[in-house]
Amino acid sequence: MASSTESILSFVNVEKTYAGATKPALQKISLDIAPGEFFSILGPSGSGKTTALRLIAGFETADSGQVILAGRNVTHTPPNKREVHTVFQSYALFPHMTVEENVRYPLRMAGMASGEAAKRVSEVLGLVEMSAFAQRYPHQMSGGQRQRIALARALAGRPKVLLLDEPLGALDLNLRQQMQHVLVRLQRELGMTFVYVTHDQGEALSMSNRVAIVSQGVIQQLGSPADIYFRPSNEFVARFIGKANIVDIDITSSGNGSTATLLGHQFPLPESAPAGKAKYSIRYEALEILEPGASGAEHLAMPAVVRDVLFLGNCLEVKVDCAGKELIAVAPARKGASVQLGGNVQIGFRPSEGVVLHG
């Protein structure tokens, strides 16, 4: 993580409570975002992620703490005095203006000379591959094309930070995936700091350098997509990111390390952990349907009974009963013939792929 002196954007103990609310929307949030970083704020509805974006943009003011942009305290600075632009899900394009006029509009309002504005418009339309649409109107374009124009308009002012507020939410799956590639390419080409707010785990994990998981106004975990996916810090993160089995374990510790007992089966934990009861996360894809007799040191193998099977194309999601506990395992689709409802199977996972959850 960048230190506050190296950051392009920082929150320092930022708190915000809306009038009439019983709980803060954000509770003493501190974070640092590095220059040129693709940073996502991810959380469910009501988590506080949009409040964080509005505080960065200047649409809301923090009750306490500071918002620092490029070394300057902008906590009480109006939106038009911050070098920050926002792209919204709704596009917010003027229907009576052409693409070129829409992109030029904020430059004209800022007093930019006509020649420089024309050059800037041409440049950003090229970046988003929309130069051929300069004289069209918004109603003549698809949702994905309109989103590219909204991006171009935001980029034209060369902000220090580009805020993206659920920008792909109105697009269908194929267009969302296309726009993810566009956003990543633009961010890398420009070296600009992107702060992306979303409830979509796939979007955040696939595009970001780092992700902050927010719930109930608190950062639950902040790290790289891989860290958050494979090493969730608590039960909320494990359940919110991807698909995970959450089970109870009993931990015993000695001078030789820690041992866990799961559904009557013991296995060594890769890292020492405090003795006592704990929650344990096993990703669906980490829990396998083992070949007959395939147990041993690598896997913890357990007998189970198949209760349901879902075909997902490239794989099967297999619901099993293991010692009275419902678990989900993943198997290659080619194993479909050998996974039968009511059938007995061996399931197993590598202890290195499970995580002891805290908090």
Percent of the chain with pLDDT over 90: 75
pLDDT of res. 115:
93
Write out the E strands in the chain: 9-16, 26-33, 38-42, 64-69, 72-73, 84-88, 161-165, 193-198, 210-215, 218-223, 244-254, 257-262, 265-268, 276-283, 288-290, 300-311, 315-322, 325-332, 344-349, 354-357
Over residues 238-252, mean pLDDT? 95
From the list 33, 7, 37, the residue with the least C-alpha distance to 207 is 37
Write out the E strands in 123-236: 161-165, 193-198, 210-215, 218-223
Residue 295 has pLDDT above 70, yes or no: no
Residue 98 has pLDDT above 80, yes or no: yes
| Higher-pLDDT residue of 297, 264 | 264
**How many whole angstroms separate alpha carbon 140 and alpha carbon 149?**
12
SS3 content of the chain, % helix, strand, coil (to 5): 30, 35, 35
The residues that bridge with 357 in the sheet, in sequence order, are 279
- Into which CATH architecture does domain 243-357 fall? Beta Barrel (2.40)
Six token digits for residue 56: 């960065």
Over residues 3-30, mean pLDDT? 91
Question: What confidence tens digit (pLDDT) does each residue in 118-153 have?
Answer: 999 999 999 999 999 999 999 999 888 888 999 999
Over residues 5-21, mean pLDDT? 93
At 359, the pLDDT band (50, 70, 90 cuts) reads: low
What is the rounded end-to-end Cα distance, in angstroms, of the chain?
A: 23
Sign of CA dihedral 101, 105, 107, 108: positive
Over residues 298-324, mean pLDDT? 92
Residue 287 has pLDDT above 70, yes or no: yes
**How many whole angstroms separate alpha carbon 224 and alpha carbon 197?**
16
Question: What confidence tens digit (pLDDT) does each residue in 174-192 have?
Answer: 888 888 998 999 999 999 9
**How many whole angstroms separate alpha carbon 173 and alpha carbon 175?**
6
Residue 356 has pLDDT above 80, yes or no: yes
**How many whole angstroms separate alpha carbon 215 and alpha carbon 305?**
36
At 105, the pLDDT band (50, 70, 90 cuts) reads: very high
Over residues 23-50, mean pLDDT? 96
At 296, the pLDDT band (50, 70, 90 cuts) reads: low
The pLDDT mean for the chain works out to 91
pTM value is: 0.89
178-192, 203-217, 288-302, 329-343, range with the lowest pLDDT: 288-302
Q: What is the DSSP letter of 25?
A: S
Q: Please state the domain extents for the chain.
A: 9-235, 243-357
The residues that bridge with 309 in the sheet, in sequence order, are 318
Residue 3 has pLDDT above 60, yes or no: no
Q: In this structure, which topology does domain 9-235 adopt according to CATH?
A: Rossmann fold (3.40.50)
Residue 26 has pLDDT above 60, yes or no: yes
pLDDT of res. 344:
93
pLDDT of res. 334:
84
From the list 136, 135, 148, the residue with the least C-alpha distance to 186 is 148
Residue 66 has pLDDT above 70, yes or no: yes
Q: What is the DSSP letter of 344?
A: E
Q: Tell me whether the CATH fold assigned to 9-235 matches the one assigned to 243-357.
A: no
**How many whole angstroms separate alpha carbon 87 and alpha carbon 103?**
13
Quickly tell me which residue has 């590598």 as its tokens.
Answer: 350
Over residues 295-310, mean pLDDT? 85
